[in-house]
Amino acid sequence: MKVEKSSKGLEVLVRTQEDDLEGFSFLEIMDRVDPLPLDFENYKNFKEGIYYMCTHDGTKIGFVLKFAINEMETVCSEIFEETFQLDESRHELRFKSEDFDHRNNLIDQLARKMYLESSLSGVKGWRNEKYAVWVNKKPYVLVERAVAGVLGIITYGIHINGYVLDPKSKKVQFWVPRRSKTKQTWPLMLDNIIAGGLGYPYGIYETVLKESMEEANLEKSVIEDNIKATGSVSYLYFTGDISVTKFNKESDFIVGEVQYVYDLKLSEDIIPKPNDGEVESFNLFSLQETINALRKKEFKPNCALVMVDFLIRHGYITPENEPNYLELVTRMHRRLPFPTLN
């Protein structure tokens, strides 16, 4: 995809001959986040390897791997049995307690034990941040972020695209941070200007303000002047191949994710700065540099998807230059098979 100037002097993305020859589609970026077909629950491997996490009264709230259940049973059998009822025939792992505080207490114990004694690498990244599972628009249980993957619950976050639009040339540039090399996840990859998980009890916009300060050193007044809520993307994050994945390791987790998406249009004199050590540097990328980085897989996968969402909403990706336009728009708004926050 090549950036050219339209007859009106606007930047437009044009498919090259190579794009057509190799059949390029931005769907590639979607596939790196969520390659699951609609009927993924009918696959043999899925049926064997995946259980449904359920509330005490039977509402499904997540996908939990048999592998993860085995790990919990090995590492913390006592707390596990106090917390959950395992139904092998229905492939369900149900919470036992009807009480919110009791569930929180048990899951907290379970998470701490896993952190200390499990060999899973994910649980070692203790965040001291709680994710809420939402059922009937209320928090059903609070889960330490590090064990969200093990329990297979839906997680929520905010992602902000920061951009500068030159009023004269109409050229767009994106503020693209490179993640710190010491980040637990995806070190050194490119990111959205600001992104963060929705830690309980922070609200969505509250998280926007909090993360803007923490990650980019941008104050509340700068954000309030320039930010716009613009929708959401949702997907089942999965990196395997449903036909062959054995669901017997951490990287086989299927995690429902919702990202609330914001645009932050900044003037050239506002410069984001690393603040909390999570970001190595912020750089301004031209449209062409951004497209190239997307195609070279330099972005963290879900940040790439949020960038694609921006490119669609702002008319850079169009039904004319993207052969799977509707498919792409539909898939990035996947309906998750469990209750959600809103």
Cβ contacts of 44 within 8 Å, gap of 6 or more: none
Distance in Å, CB of 19 to a second copy, minimum: 15
Per DSSP, the residues of 260-283 read EEEEEE--TT------SSSEEEEE
> If 0-12 CB within 10 Å is exposed, 13-18 middle and 19+ buried, where does residue 182 land?
exposed
Question: Cβ 117 to a second copy, closest distance in Å?
Answer: 36
Q: What is the dihedral of CA 131, 50, 120, 85, to 10 degrees?
A: 70
What is the distance between the alpha carbons of residues 233 and 159, in angstroms, rounded to a whole number? 10
Question: Are 129 and 51 within 8 A, CB to CB?
Answer: no
Task: Using the minimum distance from each CB to a second copy, give the nearer residue, 69 or 328.
Answer: 328
In terms of CB distance, is 72 or 158 closer to a second copy?
A: 158
Q: How far is the CB of 82 from a second copy (least distance, A)?
A: 33
Q: For the chain, how are helix, strand and coil distributed in percent, rounded to 5?
A: 35, 30, 35
Q: Which is nearer to a second copy, 229 or 271 (CB)?
A: 229
Residue 249 or 333 having the CB closest to a second copy: 333
Specify the amino acid at residue 255: V
- The amino acid sitting at 83 is T
Smallest distance from a second copy to CB 148, Å: 18
Per CB under 8 A, residues contacting a second copy are: 6-8, 38, 137, 203-205, 224-225, 227-232, 234, 258, 260, 263, 312-315, 317-320, 322-327, 329-331, 333-335, 340-342
Residue 282: phi and psi, rounded to 5, are: -110, 135
Quote the least distance from Cβ 169 to a second copy, whole Å. Answer: 15
Cα–Cα dist 129/132, whole Å: 10
Q: How far is the CB of 273 from a second copy (least distance, A)?
A: 23
- Toward a second copy, which CB reaches closer, 9 or 187? 9
| Closer residue to a second copy (CB): 117 or 320 | 320
**Between residues 116 and 229, which has the closer beta carbon with respect to a second copy?**
229
Nearest approach, Cβ of residue 54 and a second copy (Å): 19
Q: How far apart are CA 197 and CA 237, in angstroms?
A: 15
Return d(Cα 38, Cα 40) in angstroms, integer. 6
